[in-house]
Amino acid sequence: MERIVRSPRGRSAAFTLVELLVVIAIIAVLIGLILPAVQRVREAAANTQCKNNLKQFGLAFHNHHDALGYFPSGGWGWNLAPTYVGGQPAVGPLQRAGWGFQILPYIESDSAWRAGAVVAIGTPNKLFFCPSRRAPQTVTHRDNYFPPLTGGDIVHALCDYAGSNKEGTGAIRRFIPNRILDITDGTSLTLMIAEKRINLRHLGEWQDDDNEGYTAGWNDDTLRRTTRVPAADHTLAFGNGFHQFGSSHLGRMNSVFADGSVHTISFSIGRAEFQALGDKSDGKVLHHSDF
């Protein structure tokens, strides 16, 4: 039985219905103010981590260049597994896997690099994922490599970043790797790696530009076009990233240039400017204000 304490004037000290509704309304307003602030803080932290991932890629590319005399290549083709010669990972023109596999020794993933194709393909690495979009993720589907690695299904560790560019004019070239001297427009104004656009509705499912994973050679999983401007991720019932760069960040994506510097690129960048950023030797002069 509820005990009601009377005030000296005889009024009840319990809350009235109106007072209770006012308190609830105040709490709701406070939650409405706090939640967006929390979300902004989380996005800021995720954006910082994304930029750090790209910074690590830039350092890895330069360490690769210091060690071997050239940047990683874009690999050979999507259905060719990482190449091993005498049990050791091949380098340079002999390596059929893409840039993501080739930088493993320079991002503290030497063990996965040396463990063999199946392990390398299926081992997720948090550096290849933007936390604004997803945690490290894999997808499993039929072994389509030539020749097959397992004869059954195989796990693919995915990737949120792509190299420039699929047109073949960028810092990451097919078959034959580029040297710094090949980037005649200047490394500080040549895009190397950026976030890639993805269909979020089918995230974690088989998508033809998000299924082979970070080791893929010359494939939309790891390379995108700079003749198409970047755009935000989408949730359409159909389609994928449409060969584009892009991100889950609001109005922009993060990137690393060939000199290792990290930059933010707006989705409003002009097509001509973005194409020039992706071309290592078109002779066009750009300024950072252009993007």
Give 61-114 as a DSSP string: HHHHHHHHSS-----S-TT-PPPEETTEE--GGG--S-HHHHTGGGTT-HHHHH
The answer to whether 74 and 173 are in contact (CB under 8 A) is: yes
CA distance 164 to 195: 10
pLDDT in tens, 158-203: 999 999 999 999 999 999 999 999 999 999 999 999 999 999 999 9
Q: What is the domain partition of the chain in residue ranges?
A: 27-290
The secondary structure of residue 130, as a DSSP letter, is -
Tell me the pTM: 0.86
Summarised one tens digit per residue, pLDDT across range 78-88 is 999 999 999 99
CA nearest 96: which of 121, 111, 78, 113?
Answer: 78
pLDDT (tens place) for every residue of the chain, 291 residues total: 444 445 445 455 566 877 777 778 778 777 777 766 667 678 788 999 999 999 999 999 999 999 999 999 999 999 999 999 999 999 999 999 999 999 999 999 999 999 999 999 999 999 999 999 999 999 999 999 999 999 899 999 999 999 999 999 999 999 999 999 999 999 999 999 999 999 999 999 999 999 999 999 999 999 999 999 999 999 999 899 999 999 999 999 999 999 999 999 999 999 999 999 999 999 887 877 667
Q: DSSP letter at 290? A: G
